[in-house]
A and B are shown apart, each in its own frame.
Chain A
Amino acid sequence: MLKRILIADGVSGREEEAAEVIRQEFIPFCDEVKIHRTHSVIGYKKATRLKAGETPKSLMFAAHLDQIGLVITRIEKGGFLRFSGIGYDYKVLTGQPVLVMGREKVRGVISAGSIVTVPSSNWEKNPAMMDLFIDTGLSEDEVHQKLRVGDLVKLDVEPLELQNDFYSSPVLDDRSCVAGMILGMERLVDLHHDRDLYFVATCGEESTGKGARSAAWEINPDTAIAMDVTFGTQPGAAEPLTYPVGKGLTLSLGPVFDTRSREQMVKICQMEKIPFVDEPDMVGFGTDAASIRRTRGGIPVNLISLPIKSMHTPVEMMSLNDLKELGRFVSAVAANIDKSLENQSDSTDTDESDSLKKGADDDR
């Protein structure tokens, strides 16, 4: 399942193929699945336990299905292709194999031109973004026949299973969280939940956030949880900017995030022994959480994240154990969000735990 989701095409703005693949994965676990006009995928699962006469509250999970990508902007003399993109680091692009999705899929290489062959003088300099181009080896005529300005370009890199439970692939941002959502859905088949659940694989997060905003507007959930990736610790990037990969999830902390539902989630994680740490986030931009938070007069939102190394490169790396915990988080929160829970931590402050219990029953 993970591999199927990761290799589907879904560059921001052209997410159709990925949306369809994900829709198929949602179907066994949801009562209804539809593809929104923005190409977000919305899975709806009715509350399994209804209190007589009451409309169930709703809970929305959001993970984005779109990926960063490149687009052809110009066909130069000689058939070389200039391109532009969102989210990529030009240093990562040189020497990457690509597939240009034109009238046919054409294989190519991203090159920085003569800098590649100069044996000594330019080893000390990085290529400039504007010097990069895609080389297909075809003649100019052949290129014009098969490709056009505006064609999308995909990096031709497959997922890799590494030692232990590490897994490297492009598009872990954010299909890994879509997969986490699906793992959670699978677990919910055997669990009861009091709320109507909406699972949204949003589109457009990397560009405008339109998928999350429009879905949140339509659904108007009582509570929302965005799921995205965060920076993993790696050579050159240590704490406090990053979080270790394989040691659990992060739960964002800051003014934008809803404290009541967050406190409940903390208790749920402690009860279920789901490993997580706080991730301080002062402003709150950068994910679907921001888009959801400012829709419909403000929807209470929180952000759970999966640490990955080398974000926005074709060799993003995550821990499959962390992914499993993300799935457990989704199902545990969906099943327990309104339950009255004892404060599970070792806090000896009894006053605090009493008031939290009362607070847990009233989520809004």
Chain B
Amino acid sequence: MIDKFCNCFGPPGMEEAVVSLIKEALADSGLKIFEDRVGNLVVEKEGCSPTVSLNASMDEAALFINHIKDDGLLAFETAMVMPHLLVGKQVSVGKDKLPGVIGFVPIHLQRHLDMIDKPVKTTSLFIDIGCKSKKETKKLVNLGDWAVFRTAFAAGESVITGKALDNRLSVAMLVELLQSGEIKNQVRAVFTRIRKTWPWGSAAAGELYGSDYNIMMESAAADDGPIPVGQRYERRSESKLGGGAVFTVLDGGHISSIELYSHFVNQAEAKGIPYQIKQSNAGVSDASQYQTGAMGNRVLAVSMPCRYQNAPISMAKMEDYRNMKQLLIESINSLPQLKQSK
């Protein structure tokens, strides 16, 4: 099922395919499922208290078509995707996944055109689907359509690769948790739309669907590698592959609840489940929306370590997936009742 989620076409604002897949997976579960007026998908599961809200965003890093050129090629912009990752890649345009490529001037010619060391800019890259004119392209693609990377999910012995691992691994995990009923508590699972451009989905969800405890299921950068030549120090990444679920202490938009945070860490220690603490405090996540939203304010971001998150091909490990899932089950099931404070 993970492969189906990762291969789905689901850019910000157009996550219908992911929504269908979730509904299909939970069709026989007897759970109450509804889509609210901004498209967030909410699944309610009965159970014991305390109630827990679990949030996972459904969209992926993608390319927003903002102009169709006279020669039929598509100009685009991106959020979060570095330009030099786009050169020479295959993409799927629109929900029908029309094949396209982002070409580049051959190296033999770059010398003549003074291009060799110039930095690559998104504004000089275009998606080519094989149409010869603007008119032809307009029959197939609209402004505001998105292109996603055309990487197919692949599972090796321990390493998984594919596109959209951030955040479809969490989506798949949350669906599995809802299907299996291993969590005994009352759960409000919220699958939000639009996270990659800005957390619009959770901005709405944080207002409406918060509970006593709110857990954001996301991914954390685990990029690693040899020290770049000329750099003297080793740059630490936020997390490591194989290190287990990642807890965020604080980031640019929220501070995790000390109660939740210490409970999860204690559970991990007690049950011997690998975990790690996120090594950097940058970025703004869905957690900030829940913390400042109208209802909930106890938040904790629990993430899958993932390399190359907003890139054509991302990488993660199945052992982290299994460990994070187990940690969520153990920790949520053992959450203490909330002490009422006046």
Bound pair (A, B) = yes
The A interface is mostly helix, strand or loop, or mixed, namely: loop
| B154 contact set on A, CB distance < 8 A | 107
Determine, out of B29-37, B119-127, B254-262, B322-330, the stretch whose residues face the partner at the interface.
B119-127
- Residues in B with CB closer than 8 Å to A237 are 105-106, 109, 113
**A91 an interface residue at 8 Å Cβ cutoff?**
yes
- The 8 A CB mask of B10-35 against A (1 = contact, 0 = none) is 00000000000000000000000000
Interchain CB contact under 8 A, A97 and B313: yes
Which residues from A are CB-within-8-Å of B105?
A: 234, 236-237, 310
Decide: A95 and B104 in contact? CB cutoff 8 A.
no
Q: Give the docked Cα–Cα distance between A96 and B118 (Å).
A: 20
B134 at the interface (CB under 8 A from A): no
Q: Are A137 and B315 in contact (CB under 8 A)?
A: yes
- CB pair B161 A162 closer than 8 Å: no
Within 8 A of B (CB), among A84-112: 87-89, 91-92, 94-97, 106-107, 109, 111-112
A341→B109 CA distance, assembly (Å): 38
A164 touches B130 (CB 8 A): yes
Q: Is the CB of B82 within 8 A of A168?
A: no
Q: Quick check: which of A28-36, A121-129, A295-303, A344-352 contacts chain B, the rest being far away?
A: A121-129
Chain A contributes a number of interface residues (CB within 8 A of B) equal to 63
Q: Is the interface of B mostly helix, strand, loop or mixed?
A: loop
**Interchain nearest-CB distance for B234 vs A (Å):** 9
B85-97 vs A, Cβ < 8 Å mask (1 yes, 0 no): 1111110000000
- Cα distance, A168 to B131, chains bound together (Å): 13
Q: Which one, A78, A92, A123, A231, contacts B108 given CB within 8 A?
A: A231
Which A residues lie within 8 Å of B237 (CB)? 114, 117
- Complex-state Cα separation, A246 to B132, whole angstroms: 10
A119, B310: Cα distance in complex, Å? 11
- Please state if B129 and A315 are interface contacts (CB–CB under 8 Å): no
Partner of B87, one of A77, A91, A124, A161: A91
Q: Bound complex: CA of A317 vs CA of B103, how far in Å?
A: 8
Q: Number of residues in B with C-beta < 8 Å to the partner?
A: 67
The interface centre, meaning the residue of A127, A128, A231, A311 with most chain B CB atoms within 10 A of its CB, is A311
Are A160 and B119 closer than 8 Å at their CB atoms? no
Are A95 and B313 neighbours in the complex by a CB distance under 8 Å? yes
A-binding segment of B42-50, B167-175, B194-202, B222-230: B222-230
Q: Which of B98, B101, B224, B307 has the most CB of A within 10 A?
A: B101
How many whole Å from B323's CB to the nearest CB in chain A? Answer: 16
Q: Measured between alpha carbons, how far is A64 from B307 in the docked complex, in Å?
A: 37
* Option from A77, A97, A241 in Cβ contact (under 8 Å) with B109: A241
B110–A89 contact, CB under 8 A?
yes
Checking A106, A127, A235, A242 against B73 with a beta-carbon cut-off of 8 angstroms, the contacting residue is A235
A159 to chain B minimum Cβ distance, whole angstroms, is 10
Q: Taking A126-B119, A164-B132 as contacts, is the C-beta distance between A113 and B229 under 8 angstroms? A: no
- A214 in the interface, Cβ–Cβ < 8 Å? no
**A148 CB to nearest chain B CB (Å):** 18
Residue of B nearest to A158 (CB): B90
Answer yes or no: A138 CB below 8 A from chain B CBs. yes
Closest to B102 in A: A315
CB of A94 within 8 A of CB of B104, answer no
Q: Are A80 and B159 in contact (CB under 8 A)?
A: no
> Is residue A314 contacting chain B, with contact meaning CB distance below 8 A?
yes
Q: Is A193 in contact with chain B by the CB < 8 A criterion? A: no
Complex: A137 Cα to B160 Cα, angstroms: 9
Query: With A89-B104, A236-B124 as given contacts, are A128 and B226 in contact (CB-CB < 8 Å)?
Result: no
Kindly state whether residue A257 has any CB partner on chain B within 8 Å.
no
Within A145-180, the residues touching B (CB, 8 Å) are: 157, 160-166, 168
Known contacts A113-B228, A157-B90, A312-B107; decide if A107 and B130 are in contact (CB<8 Å): no
Would you call A115 an interface residue if the criterion is a C-beta within 8 Å of the partner chain's C-beta atoms? yes
> Lowest 6 CB-CB distances: which A-B pairs, in order?
A162-B130, A163-B130, A166-B130, A137-B159, A310-B103, A113-B225
Residues of B within 8 A of A (CB): 71, 73, 82-90, 98-110, 112-113, 115, 117-120, 124, 126, 128-132, 136, 140, 150-151, 154, 156, 158-159, 161, 221, 223-226, 228-229, 235, 237-238, 241, 282-283, 307-308, 311-313, 315, 317
Further 17 A-B residue pairs, CB within 8 A, beyond A92-B88, A136-B159, A163-B98: A82-B226, A94-B87, A107-B159, A109-B307, A113-B225, A116-B82, A137-B158, A160-B101, A161-B99, A162-B100, A163-B129, A234-B128, A236-B113, A310-B101, A312-B106, A313-B106, A314-B90
Binding site for B on A (CB under 8 A): 76-78, 80, 82, 87-89, 91-92, 94-97, 106-107, 109, 111-117, 119, 123-128, 130-131, 133, 135-138, 157, 160-166, 168, 231, 234-237, 241-242, 246, 309-315, 317
Can you show 22 pairs from A to B with CB atoms below 8 A apart?
A78-B226, A89-B104, A94-B85, A95-B312, A97-B151, A106-B156, A113-B228, A114-B228, A119-B282, A128-B228, A137-B156, A137-B315, A162-B129, A163-B98, A164-B130, A234-B105, A235-B73, A237-B106, A310-B104, A311-B108, A315-B89, A317-B128
